[in-house]
Amino acid sequence: MEYIDNNKSNPLANDSIVKLLFKMVVPAVIAQIVNLFYNIVDRMFISSIPDIGTIALTGVGVTFPIITLISAFASLIGMGGSPRAAIKMGQNDYDEAEEILTNSFISLVGISVVLTIFFLIFNEKLLLMFGASEQTLPYSKEYINIYVIGTIFVQIVLGLNPFINCQGFANIGMKTVLIGAVLNIAFDFLFIKIFNMGVRGASLATVISQAVSAMWVLIFLIKSKKTKIRIKRKYFKLKKSVMIPVIILGISPFIMQSTESLLNIAFNSSLKKYGGDIAVGTMTILATIMQCVSLIVIGIGQGSQPIISFNYGAGKIDRVKKTYKLTISISLLFTFIMWILCIIKPGIFIGIFATEDNPIMDYAKVSLIIYMFAVFIMGAQFACQQAFVALGQAKISLFLALLRKIILLIPLIYILPIAIPDNVLTSMQQIFPISLENKVFAVFLAEPISDFISAIITIILFIIITKKINKNFKEKI
């Protein structure tokens, strides 16, 4: 098979890889940081509500599994459809790329309707299942009932923004996030501080800001002269041949997001049993630090995905190889730097959440060293996994999504405290400045063990699969 390059004017096909990566990765990373920042600000506004701030924040926190699940369904379609659309554009098949985009849009609308009805009917039962109490349930329901009405906006923003990024318009994709973030903060201030609307105001602020972002995305993908593929009415009829490959490829990011709450439940239940409130409080800090590291690495991977997918479709295998090699190198460098800082100066990160005289400070310092002990190699794991998605490798992406959290981490959280003898745990802790309870140490140890094993397996599989892909290209040319 001979590949013909009909994309001579497309920067994804012709610009230098270093220039492209900078152009794509920087906005993607900024978008991830902004998204994290405005979530923190949102919680700050809620916690500052007079008299009920603390309990209201707890109530809103109980809704996060539902919010995470709604976002995960958007990723199912967006992260499954956008790499396939980019591959088709690389093959100069813009009609099929537009069909993927339009079918994805219709699917997101349909999913929104189903999720909205489901969560409006079953929200109370679910919230109680996720830990709402008699005191927090009213605030949880107040928040989620408004948020769920805006499900369609969340689906459009998170599900269609990847189709903007996959065309090389990373700055436009970043503006989608910035618009939502700035408006959300502004409406939080207006509704909570000025109009005293409490939790309802926080939820309404989120829905309105997402609605504006959704309009921004739709206008770009329907009417903008810049966009290379558009949502078109002639493709409104859903086709199995289009959506099944999208869903299969999107299952990997879907699982990665949807299982996050399950992981938190596993950690907190085990730590509560062996270490009490201080261990659970420490876990909140550690999870936030890990989230910050993960989001930046994910941003690097997301920035490189359109370049890999497009050039893979165009048959430019040398550009594909150069892109993923550079992406892995940048990701590894970042996680290695973070590893050094966490091991040598853990107080830099813990100090953001606790003062020196806080009893959690020393406890969290040593816990962070254990928890992040294998983070140096995680850059390769995240980069390779996202490269598999960019290359359309659905089966291997699904396996890797399950491997780290479901197959390894969650079982290890419960197995290690029972399986490792106390004398062995005591000996292992000699390398640390202070000791934790042996069982707590074993729980935190689950993270670096699963990180290291999953990273090594991912790297080995990546070498094998990419060699196979390279060989197939050479045979077809």
Do 308 and 222 belong together in one domain?
Answer: no
Do 452 and 364 belong together in one domain?
Answer: yes
pLDDT of residue 434: 58
Do 220 and 320 belong together in one domain?
Answer: no
Under the banding of pLDDT at 50, 70 and 90, the label for residue 476 is: low
More confident residue, 102 or 427: 102
Is the pLDDT assigned to residue 223 strictly greater than 50? Answer: yes
Asked, for residue 278, whether it belongs to a domain, the answer is no
pLDDT single digits (tens) 56-72? 888 888 888 899 899 99
Do 24 and 84 belong together in one domain?
Answer: yes
More confident residue, 149 or 32: 149
pLDDT single digits (tens) 399-408? 988 999 999 9
Asked, for residue 266, whether it belongs to a domain, the answer is no
pLDDT of residue 3: 38
pLDDT of residue 432: 65
Print the domain residue range for 122. Answer: 12-258
Under the banding of pLDDT at 50, 70 and 90, the label for residue 430 is: confident
Asked, for residue 219, whether it belongs to a domain, the answer is yes
Burial letters for 349-364: b for 16+ Cβ neighbours within 10 Å, e otherwise?
bbeebbeeeeebbbbb
Do 251 and 328 belong together in one domain?
Answer: no
**Which of 258, 291, 308 finishes a domain?**
258
Do 225 and 312 belong together in one domain?
Answer: no
Do 114 and 232 belong together in one domain?
Answer: yes
pLDDT of residue 421: 87
pLDDT of residue 2: 39
Is the pLDDT assigned to residue 354 strictly greater than 80? Answer: no
> What is d(CA 350, CA 90) in angstroms, rounded to the nearest whole number?
45
Do 236 and 309 belong together in one domain?
Answer: no
User: Is residue 97 within 8 Å of residue 85, measured between CB atoms?
Assistant: yes
Asked, for residue 3, whether it belongs to a domain, the answer is no
pLDDT single digits (tens) 4-56? 444 566 788 888 999 999 999 999 999 888 887 777 778 778 888 888 887 88
pLDDT of residue 132: 84
**Which of 231, 258, 285 finishes a domain?**
258
Do 39 and 99 belong together in one domain?
Answer: yes
Tell me how many domains the chain contains.
2
- What is the pLDDT averaged over residues 178-187? 94
> CA geometry: angle at 235 spanning 233 and 240, to 5°?
150
Do 163 and 54 belong together in one domain?
Answer: yes
Asked, for residue 91, whether it belongs to a domain, the answer is yes
- CB proximity list for 206: less than 8 A, separation 6 or greater: 42, 147, 150, 184
Is the pLDDT assigned to residue 266 strictly greater than 70? Answer: yes
Is the pLDDT assigned to residue 279 strictly greater than 90? Answer: no
Using CA atoms, how far residue 393 sits from 142, 259, 315, 385, 389, in Å, is 41, 21, 16, 10, 6
pLDDT single digits (tens) 313-328? 999 999 999 999 999 9
pLDDT of residue 165: 94
> What is d(CA 229, CA 10) in angstroms, rounded to the nearest whole number?
13
Asked, for residue 38, whether it belongs to a domain, the answer is yes
> What is d(CA 111, CA 198) in angstroms, rounded to the nearest whole number?
29
Burial letters for 377-409: b for 16+ Cβ neighbours within 10 Å, e otherwise?
bbbbbbbbbbbbbbbbbbebbbbbbbbbbebbb
Do 304 and 433 belong together in one domain?
Answer: yes
Asked, for residue 237, whether it belongs to a domain, the answer is yes
Output the pTM of the full model.
Answer: 0.87
Q: Which two tokens stand for residue 44?
A: 């700050």
pLDDT of residue 286: 87
